[in-house]
Amino acid sequence: MFSSKLEEQLNHQVSLESKASALYLSMASWCEKKRLNGAASFYYAQSDEERQHMLKVFKYINEMGGHAKVPSVNPVEAEFSSIKEVVERSLESEKTVTSSVHHLCELAREVQDFGTLNFLQFYVVEQREEEVLFGNILDRIELIGMEGQGLYYIDKELEALAKQKIKTEGLA
């Protein structure tokens, strides 16, 4: 039997994934406005990926006999001071999602829902990868800098990451 407490927390996860998707979409728009087209492509792909994560949890709730709920769409940040701030905020967002995934795993274990615990392993791995990704991007920004050609190289790095993500994950 599907735990109502777990259902509630999974619906919260749907909300977090939706918020992350909206945040990345907003970041893509900011990047595009700043003519950082590589970074914009990267954040459009990130937004698509978060939406896919949201839908996966959404469908899982319903498959388990629960009721997945569409989260409300709240405004997200739209202005940033630099690409470095955008990446820092991305890492913060991923850490929030990771914390929620870990809480879900603990709850699934507590209620002995091993099927859900198994389902969540995808997210455990995914979140580790995302935190490493954004940490590496921040390291590159520190190494290359954001002045002059540095910003150009960061934009190209993000463009290459977007192309790789689109190719390997089938994102638009």
Run means of pLDDT, 10 residues per run, the chain, 172 residues: 93 98 98 97 96 98 97 93 97 98 98 97 97 96 89 92 85 60
Cα angle value 136/88/122 (rounded, 5°):
65
Was domain 4-169 assigned CATH 3.30.460.80? no
**Residues 6 or more apart from 104 whose CB is under 8 A from it?**
6, 9, 10, 13, 116, 120, 123
Strand extents, DSSP E, the chain = none
DSSP for residue 71:
P
Q: What is residue 77's predicted lDDT score, i.e. its pLDDT?
A: 94
Contact 47, 26 (CB under 8 A): no
In the chain, what are the domain boundaries?
4-169
Q: What is residue 129's predicted lDDT score, i.e. its pLDDT?
A: 96
Contact 90, 134 (CB under 8 A): yes
Q: What is residue 59's predicted lDDT score, i.e. its pLDDT?
A: 98
Q: What is residue 21's predicted lDDT score, i.e. its pLDDT?
A: 98
User: For residue 133, what is the enclosing H or E element?
Assistant: helix 114-144
Q: What is the CB-side half-sphere exposure of residue 27 using CA atoms within 13 A?
A: 28
